[in-house]
Amino acid sequence: MSKVFEDYLSELHTDMVDIGLEYVENRAEDIYIYCSYEPEMYAFDVFYKINGQFVLKNNLNNTVNDSDKELFDTSEPRQEALLDVGLKNLEEIHKKCKEYEEEMPTEIKLHLSLFPTLVN
């Protein structure tokens, strides 16, 4: 069975989430990804919920309460690598939209809850 547009889109969304989780070493409660497209301009960013706090990628270490806990690597090269991969995925989404004659979304919002609240 051959792939359809939605399959490619799903793979690219999954890759965005994977790179975001890799950056935070799978230590987040929630991950939020925001993408934006304006003609020939792409934007990608990610933020997290960790220890009940919403935090940008550069402020992850503000969530580490105990000095014994390992700090996150929020170095500029690591942040740039995260953004580069996200932007490449967004550009690939645009290419697939053109290929399948679909309209490129102006916004993409992804949210993944890693530790869902249990409902009694």
Q: Looking at residues 71-94, what average pLDDT do you find?
A: 96
CA distances from 21 to 41, 103, 116 (A): 25, 28, 16
pLDDT single digits (tens) 49-62: 998 999 999 999 99
Q: What pTM did the predictor assign?
A: 0.88
- Residue 93: give the domain boundaries: 5-113
CATH code of the domain in which 35 resides: 3.30.500.20
pLDDT single digits (tens) 100-113: 999 999 999 999 99
For the chain, how many structural domains are there in total? 1
Has residue 26 been placed in a domain? yes
DSSP 26-70: T--SEEEEEEEEETTEEEEEEEEEETTEEEEGGGGGGG--STTSP
Note whether 3 and 80 are within 8 A (CB). Answer: no
1-13: buried (b, 16+ CB within 10 Å) or exposed (e) per residue? eeeeeeebbeebb
Has residue 84 been placed in a domain? yes
